[in-house]
Structures are given as C-alpha cells and as structure tokens.
Amino acid sequence: MHQLVFATNNTHKLEEVAAKIEGQIKLLSLNDINCTDDIAETGETFRENASIKSHYVYNKYKLDCFGDDSGLEIDALNGEPGVYSARYAGEHGNHDANINKVLASLQNVTGRKARFYTVISLIWNGEEHLFDGTIEGTICQERSGSEGFGYDPIFQPDGYDVTFAEMSLDEKNKISHRAIAMEKLIDFLNGR
C-alpha cells in the first residue's frame, strides 16, 4: 500500500481525511515520520500556505505528501478571518476566542454569508498538484452543537438547518470544503 504523509498533527483533520480515504492509501501524520518541526505558515493565501507545508515535508523527508490550508471567509468582514482563521483572536488554535471575535464583529450585522475554503497541495513523484473545495453557508447568531472543531459551532452550510458541529463526522465528511478537496485528491490518486 502506498504511503502518503499529511503535513499536519491536527487530529481532527487526520480523522476527517482518514475517513475519506478508507484504507486506500496508508496515511501518515508528521508525528508518524518524527517531524516535530513547526512549519511556519507565512503565505498570504491558502494556496501559498498549503504549498509551504507540502514542499517542506517533501524537501526534508523525500516522501510523497500533501499539506492543506483552510479557513473561514465572511463577506461582511471583507473575507476575514481568511488565512488567519486559526489565530484570528491572537493565540493559534484558541477556537473559543476566535468564535467570540467573529460573533462580536458580526453583532447587529444581518448579512452573515460565509464560506469555508480549503486548498490541498500534493507533492506526488516530485510534482505539485493543487485541489480546492468550498462550501457556502451562514454564520449563526450563537454556538450550536459539540462535534467538529474550529468555527463548526457557528457555521450553518447552505441547504441545512444545523451547524457543522451538530453533524456527525460522517455527515460533515460528505459535504465539507475539505471533503470536496479530498475527493479531487482521491480521484487524482485513483487515476494515476
């Protein structure tokens, strides 16, 4: 079975992706290859950050790999938090603070259209391939649900009356931005 490194140690992302590929490829994390380096996301776009991650791992370990970058874009906030989604309120990965900042910024705002966007950069046999995924939705007035991570408790995808955090992993994996990008990646790998 072919091995592929996912340039992340985010267990939530690993679970989502592992569920999508269902044993077709042996998925490895950065921990699995003993990479403890903090890969700096210095890009100004999701594409640049995804590419930084995949190139870093490929150049250092010479393993086929992919990196992703994703985030929430809110129209009323001119696309914020965007590439700063994980550290919108300052501290990286403080989901509660990030959600609080978004809700505070949208107080008294009626137009709450938003989207989750993902870009995956795959390095396969030394060549980079890019895949993306988007899901449109709305930012809710308050948190709802306990599943998922990040902004899931305040994001309601179009066509649904529940937030991502009210969906099971299986339900979210059918429609999420990362799922859409992963489908494109898997189609590419299956057609190789």
How is residue 14 written in tokens? 């690993």
Structure tokens at 103: 């809700």
Q: Are 73 and 125 in contact (CB under 8 A)?
A: no
> Can you name the residues that pair with 128 across neighbouring β-strands?
123
Find the distance separating the first CA and the last CA of the chain, reported in whole Å. 14
DSSP 158: T
Q: 3-class secondary structure for 117-138?
A: EEEEEEEECCEEEEEEEEEEEE
Is-contact 68 119, C-beta < 8 A? yes
Out of 69, 96, 170, 187, the active site residue is 69
The reply to whether 38 belongs to the active site is no
Catalytically annotated residues? 69
